Chains A and B, each alone.
Chain A
Amino acid sequence: MDPQGSKNIVASPEPEPIIRPGHTFETVTDKISAIVLSRGTTPGWAFGLLIGFSLLMLLNLVVTLLMVKGVGIWGIRVPTAWGFAIVNFVWWIGIGHAGTLISAILLLLHQKWRTSINRFAEAMTIFAVMCAGMFPLLHMGRPWLFFYLMPYPNPMWLWPQFRSPLVWDVFAVSTYFTVSLLFWFVGLIPDLATLRDRAKHPAVKTIYGIFSLGWRGSAVHWSRYEMASLLLAGLATPLVVSVHTVVSLDFASSLIPGWHSTIFPPYFVAGAIYSGFAMVLTLAIPIRSVYHLEDLVTDRHLDIMAKVMLATGIIVAYGYATETFMAFYSGSETERFMMMNRLAGPYAGLYWMLIACNIVIPQLLWIRRVRRSIAFLFVISLVVNVGMWLERFVIVVISLHRDFIPSSWGMYYPTKWDWATYAGTFGLFITMFFLFIRFLPMISIVEVRSLVHETNEEKSHS
């Protein structure tokens, strides 16, 4: 290697390129748009959609039954009035956070590697928030009266209790959904225009044409696009923290042992990012191999995401450790009992499974070989998804089922309709996601093109 070249390598903070070399603007555009325009509907895709759609119909069934019979079809009974619905709400909304982190915070931090994964991570965010949002609505029992949660002048003098974090949740989640959707759509506009220009069929051309809002790629368009992206990124950044902070306050501002804990806000946010990155990996690994996107979503991407998972997982572990320590340090009988009930109570098996899934197994990610092994990463990402679901179950159910007064203790058993609702939201998620990969470019053509441009620039400099 010539001295000039080696100097360039040491000066560069990146040890290996983000996307595989050899791409030009044309190959990038061809590769990504072909998935939508010329690949056509494959049997594999149709089968996946069929599974998703069947589950979505199951959701339809459950929701209908729920409307007819009420929330009693679920396993929620006093004292455990918050069962699967809240567990799943927190789980789904946590998953969304990785998308926002990747698209907003990493944009502000100039992390170039985000460009290949931000589009589908954002899509994941939107669909996950849709799934999440359904649960509190259904859990209300009379979802058609949800607008009571909104502050609006009405003859009943009904006004939300603004001191309750549950009300803040309404605003946090709806803002989150709106901003994420806007962000996603604004990012899509130039790509939609590319698809419009490349589409052959007039109807397809028209549909993409409508949604690309008359994008012509003029300098003014680009400058406004850049400005809008930056502003939306700035708006979305606090949302990464605020949404899950408010969710954590739903618990922490109460008095239930196991909920009333000051570490909840940062620990919930870390947990959300943890589960979100696990879900991005769960989605990215199969997608990139099915659609042969290995040179755009490279092993380096997976490695970085694994590292983020490891770091946030350690913060989560720190959260468990302090909770356990404080329960015994506090000298409070109820705190100590809550912790003993977690460690050795009727749901202890789930607690230890949670420790295995969220703390023990992910420590394998310290090893570089594991981070570079697709199979290992995929399995660990699934394990973490399960672990984070168990965490919410442990927090919601174990804390509620035995609180201060032994005479009002009880057990919580989810019914088949609980499981069906949960599976149904998977149906919604899978259906939306399959439609997304079929009809929209799942990787941002524009941003990857600019990445190719920069990579080539760097090469020409050396």
Chain B
Amino acid sequence: MKKIFNITLAIIILGVLNAHSQVPQKENLYTLQSGESMVYGENCFNFSDNGKEIFIVIHGNDGYYTINNGVKKGPFKEMNESLLKPCKQNNNNCSVFEPNGNTEFSYDEYVKTNDDGTFSINFKGKDYGTFTALQAFELSSDKNSFVASAVAPDMSKELILSNGKTIKVDGLVSKIYFSPNGSMFIAKVGFDYTAQNIDPTKINMEQISSYTLLTSDGVKIGPFNGEKVTESDIWFTQTTGNHWFIRNGDDLLLDGKPFMKMPENANRCDLWFSSDCKRYAVTSYDKVKFSDNTVVPYPIITTLFYKEGKAYLRLITLENDKEINVYTKAL
């Protein structure tokens, strides 16, 4: 009876441990033969991984070879642009969500200057405004919604939302960050030097550079020192939906609240979080370390991909000078 209990307990413990510490799945992609080496140009590596297929260019004794999902082709006598093409695809090394589109272009496309010098917005056939001034216009990545920062005819400042709502703000909006699916935004609200009642002799640099953050839920966070916490210290990630991050010196804030210390030598691109932000991985030149202490050494390519709605990291390594391996682990 005691033996059965111990075995059951061991199975439960192993199960719990496994759930929290999944060993990355390892697979050998290719083993370099004698005289073979991986090919790279001056500025990029001929190795692409878009989450579906892995493409490698190698150089052997008799020329160049391509290996596409394990299928080796060649030898090719010369290296040409078509072999170099995959380099451009290796842009998945950063966890930060980068919105599509160009802000200036969006402004020109949707904002109209009227004959009397006022501004209005025409978005998907609907008119918004008029406004005395428009300071910022940001379109969501799916181009289905916008947020604009406007000065109303009574000189009050407000955010204009594409759903028809307006939000009063007590400063100048210098930047709007949309979440990946556009359902949330953060506005950076800074010092209002256009306000009528300010006394220039009583303003100091700290006041001018300080700002607060206003979320689409109406939550106000801050103030932050603009000299220390810059625009690039605020970001959404590719994997965490509407959760957002601020780096304030060594501290990392999640949704405006204290969360964890920034890992040493890491920049914002190196932090990969699970969708609930409970698990994470930190990439660096010498390893990827997961929050369950799993380590994958020297990841030359880090790729994010989704399987059945779950985010995975795929890490390609060169081990023992010759084994090209791929590790896969859920975030």
Q: Are A and B genuine complex partners?
A: no
Interface residues of B (CB under 8 A from A): none
Interface residues of A (CB under 8 A from B): none
